[in-house]
Amino acid sequence: MAKTMQSTPPYLDLNTYLRNRFGQRVQKLPIDAGLFCPNRDGTKGTGGCIYCDQRGSGTGAYKKGLSIQEQIERGILWAQKRYKAKLFIAYFQAFSNTYAPLEKLEELYSQALSYPEIVGLAIGTRPDCIDSEKLKLIAQLSKGKMVWMEYGLQSASNKTLKLINRHCTVEDFIEAVKLTKEFNLLTCAHIIFGLPQESPQDMINTVKLLCKLKIDGVKFHQLYVLKGTKMEELYNQGKYKPIDIELYTDLVAKAIKMLPKNTVIQRISADPPRGELICPTWSLKKQDIKNKIWEKIDQLQ
């Protein structure tokens, strides 16, 4: 039977991992804590990464005036109704969620952990926004809970990171992962295929680094171009051609086969905001992307 006809992914996905650990469905709830980014406020740079939108890949809930409590309570009600979920992970998603003083971080994480239904945290941040004190705080607050530290690597090429205005290095990522493991917290890497001037080998080299570091989880993203970003300017000037769906799905399938079988594949493609997407338009065909990746993994076996 072809993998595209199966309901079970040909890899360890997050839903399966969480069911195995908790015995039931666990739903992630996206949280916008109102934090910012050192690559926007002048500390490291301005303007952010060339692909990032004004919401920092978040929901924009904080600017709408929704507190963390309101976001969690609305999220719980929505997930209970849609998925019948009873357990949840608070996902601090927008911008860099360790970019604040310890006192502020303690307040934010404690609010989320105060709900008995919340069995863990997922904290999205930059590798250069973490240190031993912050990790120690997170470990202490979350005793008995699951914690995923989600670090944006994007590429294992410092040349590429400079090109995309990342103001963060591969060495920062390596150090963050090693430090996080010292506190027995789970690590998840965000990587992007299709970054400007990257070859397929560059993208595979990024996966090789994750294998070497024995990363716990990975999120794969295709680079998409959104309105109002620097990437839009490059695309309109003919200086950027987006990755096509065949190459993207080839690379993700190969990457998944390279990674250890116990690596949690948390995402196989990104979900661009429909009204802001310029290209590639295939990014909106989530089922097609999944089918191709599953089929190609099957072919590699």
Name the burial class of residue 115, with classes exposed (0-12), middle (13-18) and buried (19+) by CB atoms within 10 angstroms of its CB. Answer: middle
- Quick: pLDDT tens for 57-81: 556 777 788 999 999 999 999 999 9
The two three-digit tokens of residue 299, written as one number: 């072919």
- Quick: pLDDT tens for 220-257: 999 999 999 999 999 999 999 999 999 999 999 999 99
Strand partners, 190: 152, 219
- As a whole number of angstroms, the distance between CA 236 and CA 214 comes to 39
pLDDT-derived band of residue 1, with 50, 70 and 90 as boundaries? very low
- As a whole number of angstroms, the distance between CA 55 and CA 70 comes to 19
- Quick: pLDDT tens for 18-64: 999 999 999 999 999 999 999 999 999 998 999 998 665 556 777 78
- Quick: pLDDT tens for 113-166: 999 999 999 999 999 999 999 999 999 999 999 999 999 999 999 999 999 999
- As a whole number of angstroms, the distance between CA 165 and CA 195 comes to 12
Residues 6 or more apart whose Cβ sits within 8 Å of residue 241:
none
- As a whole number of angstroms, the distance between CA 301 and CA 289 comes to 19
Cβ atoms of residues 120 and 112 within 8 Å: no
- Of 175, 36, 14, 154, the closest CA to residue 98 belongs to 36
Note the CATH architecture for domain 10-222+244-270: Alpha-Beta Barrel (3.20)
Sequence ranges of the domains in the chain: 10-222+244-270
Cβ-based neighbour number of residue 204 at 10 Å: 15
- Of 92, 87, 117, the closest CA to residue 104 belongs to 92
pLDDT at 259 over 70: yes
Amino acid symbol at 292: K
- Quick: pLDDT tens for 164-191: 999 999 999 999 999 999 999 999 999 9
Strand partners, 29: 90
- Of 202, 176, 171, the closest CA to residue 189 belongs to 176
CA 250 to chain centroid: 20
Task: Give this prediction's pTM.
Answer: 0.95
- % of the chain with per-residue pLDDT over 90: 91
Distances (CA, A) of 232 to 54, 155, 202, 223, 243: 13, 20, 23, 12, 15
Cβ-based neighbour number of residue 273 at 10 Å: 12
pLDDT at 299 over 80: yes
